[in-house]
Amino acid sequence: MRAILDAHPYVRCGGETMLLPSFLTWQAGWRNDWVNNSGITGEVFDDAVSAFITEIIAKHGELAPRLCNKDPYTALWVPTIRRLYPNSKFILMLRDARAVIHSMIERKVPVAGYNTSDENGMFAKWNQEIRKMVFQCNNAPGQCIKVYYERLIQKPQDEIQRVTNFLDLPYSDQMLRHHELIGAEVDLNEQEFSASQVKNSINTDALTSWFNCFSEDTLGKLDEIAPFLSILGYDTSMSKPDYSTFAKDEFYRFRMQEHEILNKKMAQIVENSTASAYSLVAAPPSTPAINHDDDVFALLYKILSSPLVFLDHEPEGLPIFHIDVGITVEEIKVLTEKMKKSFLEQPTLLQLNSDPVNVVADLHGQSIHLLRILNACEPPPNQKYLFLGDYVDRGSQSIIVMCLLFCLKHRYPDSVYLLRGNHEDINTTLNYGFYDECLEAYKSVEVGLEVWKMFIETFNCMPLAATIGLKVFCAHGGISPWLQSLEDINAIERPLVIPPFGLPCDLLWSDPAQPERSGWGLSHRGISFTYARNVVEEFCANNDIQLILRGHQLFKEMYPYGCVIRFGGRLLSLFSALNYELHKNNSSVLKLEFGSKIKVKQVVFRCRHYVPVKLTDTLGYKDLKAASKKSKANANSYTGIGKGYRKKRGWEGSEDQGTWE
């Protein structure tokens, strides 16, 4: 690709200098040490660095309208380079790791961190580095393009035209004849001369050069030591994969299909939000209330109209997209101040009427999945929502999830209800990611700390539990030995830092006990209690409750359906985060409708990587199967929860629906 670009009459792309990655590594240390202490501002230092780098690159190649630099690991410095050169663009070359590792070994090209005598270690190192590079590229929408080597050499003209369009350059036939221009328009260094692929015309000879060069043991462990290989679309199940699929136009269409689908979903939600924006007409009594607050609506619109950034991978179990939006400190300050007041005006125990309501459990920073849920179940105010907590930590976009939910709650106060989870707490966020996310999202530790404190103060004001139609009790964790009457919850004063024991702690932290247990027990978490079936039945009888609905846990039995029923149908555990921490679990949202019986409609969101697990005959699994069989027998609208899950197909977030009573 460097030689191809160098052949373009408007581009000069010199050989590798190793300048950028080395210099920027040094610069990072300088900037955080003596440079700041010397009184030199960041802007002055950036100007000096960019001028120095430009001078070296310009001299190394030749002056041209477009200057190009090709160095290993440059993609790790995308944010810094974008700051130094706001108009810069990046091309990230992707290639089968097996071919990359084979090339290093055969050509004996020294690359830092790679031990050519350790095949498994080289694949693990590749996985670590390429994952970071792809992540950096995806965080530069419009400024970074990915090019698959396998497609480039099979459809060179198509890919080169795609690259020139991206660079705002006219296409040039010289780029296909780079080998003819070596020594004239194109310069090669010693390492590039050692690669026949570079000094000859574009050909497919190198596609299969790695075949039969790795041990079966290494190839059999690729999904374990280099999972990014299959995430990028490479077939790891075959020792001699068929690369012809990369030449098919469907290859890129498939990779962008989900992006397009989610853009449409977001557009629908935006349209729903803007339909009544700034309306001054009084709503009819039957219409849900809308709070016409310009500040909150502006932030809501900003989030929903922001681009979705396409991710080819799933770092730390994240979805394959995220919302690319920068939320300012002032916007968060205004929003959290409004929400603290709103939460404190609500009782600690919310009482929702018997209107249909969608119940959503743990989200853990999954912003895109929140959009999927709103789209699948219809966004407010057309639908009512109760969220059971655990909005933050472990995922990468907790700030956006929190701001989006706060905006929806403030704008549609009678359609969105938010409970507090055990992760909406000062101690938990310090250990599980939200604190770090706040610090990393803003330019200084002081600002990030301020943002984190704003959210913590707001969390301390949130309601702790809810009833629906006076028949369903909802809390993030469950019940407590200190909970004798529901009025005990309303006696809890807020703002509240969750204590290490007592009623507020148990509402957020307690768990159901194993089926063979009875009474109360100490929790394995080291905090709160477990409650057995007899305790649940006693609580329901004393408070005229038919069902306890909670989140907080992901059991193995929940992987297929996202929920599990226990204790004779009195307790339902729900989990709404998809592929949580790479567990490959499906997730679920429940819609409750009230009549002579409580009807539960379930929307199950499928994980692309879900693989059926062998379920033990636990009470929960039997209860769930029995509930589904019973609803079929009663000719309800149950359609078969999990139908088709065992086929490896479907895009992340597709859903099936079912109903039982």
Q: Mark 186-207 as b/e (b = at least 16 C-beta within 10 Å).
A: bbbeeebeeeebbeeebeeebb
| Backbone angle region of 89, left / alpha / beta, with phi > 0 → left and psi within -120 to 50 → alpha | beta
Annotate 86-148 with DSSP letters as a single string: TT--EEEEE--HHHHHHHHHHHT---TT--TT-HHHHHHHHHHHHHHHHHHHHTSTTTEEEEE
> Torsion angle of alpha carbons 167, 172, 175, 179, nearest 10°?
-150
- Indicate the SS3 state at residue 573: strand
Q: ∠423-548-361 over CA atoms, to 5°? A: 35
Among residues 16, 450, 537, 593, the one annotated as catalytic is: 16
Q: Which residues contact 44 (CB under 8 A, 6 or more apart)?
A: none
Neighbours of 96 (CB within 10 A): 22
Contact 372, 319 (CB under 8 A): no
Check the CA dihedral 159-161-163-166 and report its sign. Answer: negative
CB count within 10 Å of CB 98 equals: 25
Q: Which helix (H) or strand (E) holds 630?
A: helix 619-633
16 is known as an active-site residue: yes
Residue among 631, 386, 348 at smallest CA distance from 491? 348
- Kindly tell me the sign of the dihedral angle through the C-alpha atoms of 534, 537, 542, 548: positive
Strand-pairing partners, residue 565, are: 572
By annotation, the residues acting in catalysis are 16
